[in-house]
Structure 1
């Protein structure tokens, strides 16, 4: 990385970082139980010209790792002389969770379900409050990088409010397999960002606890497309996908019998009403329940954990689907 400098900070003040340089920052967000600082690693690439601030946020769930190398490679490959504006990469949003190799914060709470947090709240509420106020609030655009949770796998898909013109465009520029039209709710980081006027999407980068090079590279193509579209970098927008499956809504299907679970459909598979999707067996191998698709849809994600207590997830079904193009040449001509 050219022009690299290191800082220790308590708040992200983008104006304070030098133009034409890449800076590493450790942002002191809380203290741990013996009074030592817990710091969030942030990388700031600032162009020589003023422009938008694009934030990328990884590992808000501590076991969702694919977003980390997306940020690293994006910054490593930058030509700072060409960058207009600022790219901010939050490499690990949930530091305690990552160190414990778990999804939740170290008090057991899901950080993506308690925004905006509280200035005088619990451990996790205070952490989320400061994460948003000290970092995320400074962005014009946000890409929130996630994966499936433990025991589940995902397609490469996007959550975006497709009624918002810019969020819709950001989603389609990613060339994903699936876009889920999902109005963000305020308890999520994406939802809180949207309330503050930050244009935002969530990218689901397949599976937890791993670095998966194929989806990392696919996502990098999409993130660069957004940078080109925002005129933050010069470059040609690539749209390798023939089309994208847009789901107007989705829901999870659950078991009502415990036992050994086998989920049959593949990720991204189109299902018809009545298709057999899963079976539960006793520990002795006897089938006790079969499950069938309640309506036409597409498999967004599914369970791969065979140990299934009653009420466990089967698969994430996207419904009311249609095919849409990524970004057409005509749209690019009129950007």
Structure 2
């Protein structure tokens, strides 16, 4: 982290601590039968409507100093081996506006097991961007197959690659899911549309992976059909700097969470356990293995980006 971002992070973190202290003092001065006593959320530092809590939370036996809303009762996965407790993700949203986090594990294998050279690896890695006002974007580009320049992608080849890869898209979909494209004939060919703003008239011709995620372009997008899950995904091909000349087919995903834990798009991304017994087993396992600086009440983080370790993982926006 640069000195500038370290200073910004520390200032925001200090402000967060002060808000938490103020919330705790308000709780001390307020009775359990008050609105704060009954409906205060210790992580959002405010009161919510009753329906934003699970059945066991808004009752006299729970404290507003520890109570959390349903949007924080679980975890959010970015991909197969990487997840945050929803609490830690929200903490990041409060102190890391305008920065990006990128996974440092290897993500350059395609569906056939081919490895792309290391200089391109960071562009293929999943990343998370805190956009401010509680809005979070998670992006990922899966390499699928390499084809000869001028060769047309086929439905069968793309379908087989997606099924073989079986990568994580969102809580409701994997690349091998039958409902992924609703029975459409798959293609990664350019649709001929113009990029937003006309900056790149044909972005699929460039190997700037992820460009179409941020500027629109000629990719044909599909959406997750699960209610409130703001997840878009699509296929495209980019020119690859090889000899003989080849193109790389990508499956690109962008997921968006808006406005914080009480928003429907946030809650659509939070994963909760199936049964109380399963929850207890998973919670205990994660708590035993969680970093010492992870203060999550329900789920512990899995992966390297627990909120307490953000400072060493930031990529400036």
Q: Same fold (TM over 0.5)?
A: no
Relative contact order, CA 8 A, sep 6+: which one is greater? 2
Q: Select the structure that is richer in strand.
A: 1
Please classify the TM superposition score into its range, dividing by the shorter chain length.
under 0.3
With structure 2 as the length reference, what TM-score do the two structures score? 0.22
Larger radius of gyration: 2
